[in-house]
């Protein structure tokens, strides 16, 4: 079990080859002419940083949910009828589902705010000059 988790962590966290000279700069895809003007970072560059952080955290949250569900299920299968082990497995599964519900609930509340007020609170924007 530890080996599987280690392989997953190493494969997701290991550096990949990047050919930056052949691709447009990442901030130009997110907000053209806002994050950098002629190669100089602007205050609006924080928008790009925030967007990149969210792009990384959302898949990591999904990966964490999947791993917790697998670990909890494995604990449940291997509990062998012991009450303490069953309780531990159920707690792991409950925590995974509660975390997913909280994550989805936050997204739903933000969408509800947008629907009611018309203000898109999911977009992080720093007003420019």
pLDDT of residue 55: 81
Inter-residue contact 126 to 43 (CB < 8 Å): yes
pLDDT of residue 66: 92
Residue 7 Cα to chain centre, angstroms: 20
Q: Is 122 within a domain? A: no
CA distance 64 to 4: 14
> Under DSSP, is residue 43 helix (H, G, I), strand (E, B) or coil?
coil
Q: Is 2 within a domain? A: no
pLDDT of residue 121: 76
**Residue-number span of the structural domain to which 25 is assigned:** 9-117
Q: Is 29 within a domain? A: yes
Q: CA-based angle 127:56:90, to the nearest 5? A: 125
Q: Is 125 within a domain? A: no
Q: Is 44 within a domain? A: yes
Interval 79-128: pLDDT, tens: 888 889 899 999 999 999 999 899 889 888 988 988 898 888 777 776 66
Segment 4-27 shows an average pLDDT of: 58
Q: How many CA atoms lie within 13 A of 124 on its CB side?
A: 15
Classify residue 84 as exposed, middle or buried by CB count within 10 Å of its CB (0-12, 13-18, 19+).
exposed
pTM for the complete prediction? 0.59
% residues pLDDT > 90 (the chain): 23
Distance between start and end Cα atoms, the chain: 54
């Amino acid at each position: 079990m530890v080996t599987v988790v280690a392989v997953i962590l190493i494969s997701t966290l290991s550096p990949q080859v990047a050919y930056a000279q052949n691709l447009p700069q990442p901030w130009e895809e997110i907000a053209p002419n806002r994050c950098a003007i002629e190669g100089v970072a602007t205050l609006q560059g924080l928008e790009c940083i925030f967007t990149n952080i969210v792009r990384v955290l959302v898949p990591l949250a999904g990966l964490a949910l999947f791993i917790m569900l697998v670990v909890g299920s494995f604990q449940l299968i291997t509990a062998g009828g012991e009450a303490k082990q069953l309780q531990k497995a159920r707690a792991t599964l409950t925590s995974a589902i509660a975390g997913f519900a909280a994550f989805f609930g936050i997204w739903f509340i933000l969408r509800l705010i947008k629907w009611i007020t018309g203000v898109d609170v999911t977009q992080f924007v720093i007003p420019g000059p």
